[in-house]
Structure 1
């Protein structure tokens, strides 16, 4: 940790740590081990981030099913890019004002809300049903589709059941 007086005498070299005159939360902050930081940074940004982007696109295409997907995939990209842009700016502002502990609190809160929504709406997660007009796009050899030995049952005149 350092303060503004230390900056005057630093002789042009960059000081590391937390400026106690600029940030009030510096005195209550425990620095992280640099090895742990580098390993976590490499894992999160180098491995997890690209894998999540590919996985979200794949899962989203499976959720949409065998229909034209251009608009939905475009909105997924817009939402992801906007989230990365707004999230980084807002979390940077939160960290500057309150310190890294509040950034973690916000992240834990978002994870809690997401898990709660999954638990709350788990009964509403139903298999995809494909309208008859898109039945020609259905791939019978799709390894991700749940397969039964039974013939698809007709739910009504406009919808086929995908659970085949």
Structure 2
């Protein structure tokens, strides 16, 4: 999880102590995020004002009894939640295994793996920011949300397909020399028996997929699915449903690393890729199958009551 904080790598693995608190390249990012989160809480409380835009309130219904908000379609809403869960799962899994994964594949020592993957992730974030800008300020953003989602999920799938340990890749992986440890040299731990039969993903493929495929897939999956989810719910207060949406992503970020770490330790990255290919494939399948239902909530046209010359009401 320290990859985005490659800037702290110069502190080193040993670092220093302030009383009982150990500060090194692994712990400082966590403390930094705690401080940043506290600062953000104060900023939100002091500088932001909560206002609802485009929401039909109870007062509006009283003023115009013809305003009716229909129930939203549950299945498309659940699909959007699942898309968010999958996005969070993939992001967390790659953050979790990228360091040990690159250590065993390219024989990088721990500090180098954190640094290099941090650089790759920074580059990926720049690509992602560029794509988010294009979505927000160019005609690309006018492309139908469903098509953006299909494109983003497809690129996600390609990342995992290219990084699957295909038999035509070179291998097997190397073990750490006897008497050495991961802080000195990279490679497989002696307990990783799967390294004997596991191949190495070519580094150019790993680099291109990490930087560009991730940089493209996240903004074309997360943003459109969240926007579409809000449109499916319609012009009603969405606090509860948005909470469920966020809760799904949080659960994915909690559960996925446990499963991924376990799979990596007993079988390498092969079944990590298989698991994510299956979850992404299901996301793509659901989006295609329910394509016509993944649309914004349709509001009924209000009917106004008029009075004829003879005094009768006409609807």
TM-score, structure 1 length as denominator?
Answer: 0.62
State the alpha-carbon separation in 2 of the partners of residues 13 and 110 from structure 1: 34
Partner residue in 2 for 1:128: 297
Instruction: Considering Cα pairs closer than 8 Å and 6+ residues apart, tell me whether 1 or 2 has the greater RCO.
Output: 2
Structure 2 residue 264 is matched with structure 1 residue 95: yes
From 69, 85, 91, give the equivalent of 2:238: 69
What is the deviation of 1:85?
A: 2.4
Q: Write out aligned runs for 1:107-118 (5 A).
A: 107-118=276-287
Partner residue in 2 for 1:14: 184
State the alpha-carbon separation in 2 of the partners of residues 12 and 22 from structure 1: 13
The answer to whether the 8 Å contact 2:232/2:295 transfers is no
Structure 2 residue 175 is matched with structure 1 residue 2: yes
What is the deviation of 1:29?
A: 0.9
The answer to whether the 8 Å contact 1:23/1:97 transfers is yes
From 191, 194, 197, give the equivalent of 1:28: 197
Please tell me the root mean square deviation across aligned C-alpha atoms, in Å.
3.0
State the alpha-carbon separation in 2 of the partners of residues 58 and 125 from structure 1: 11
Give the stretch that moved more between structures: 45-54 or 29-38: 45-54
Structure 2 unmatched ranges of 5 or more: 1-173, 304-315
The answer to whether the 8 Å contact 1:25/1:98 transfers is yes
State the alpha-carbon separation in 1 of the partners of residues 181 and 270 from structure 2: 32
Q: Structure 1 residues 50 and 17, CA, compared in 2 at 3 Å: closer, same or farther?
A: farther
What is the deviation of 1:23?
A: 0.8
Residue aligned with 1:14, SS:
coil
Q: Structure 1 residues 47 and 27, CA, compared in 2 at 3 Å: closer, same or farther?
A: same
Residue aligned with 2:281, SS:
helix
State the alpha-carbon separation in 2 of the partners of residues 57 and 12 from structure 1: 41
Q: Structure 1 residues 24 and 82, CA, compared in 2 at 3 Å: closer, same or farther?
A: same
The answer to whether the 8 Å contact 1:7/1:15 transfers is no
State the alpha-carbon separation in 1 of the partners of residues 196 and 182 from structure 2: 24
State the alpha-carbon separation in 2 of the partners of residues 11 and 125 from structure 1: 52
What is the deviation of 1:120?
A: 5.3
Residue aligned with 1:73, SS:
helix
Residue aligned with 1:41, SS:
helix
From 59, 63, 66, give the equivalent of 2:228: 59
What is the deviation of 1:36?
A: 2.3
Q: Structure 1 residues 38 and 112, CA, compared in 2 at 3 Å: closer, same or farther?
A: closer
The count of corresponding residues between Structure 1 and Structure 2 is: 130
State the alpha-carbon separation in 2 of the partners of residues 51 and 125 from structure 1: 16
What is the deviation of 1:47?
A: 4.7
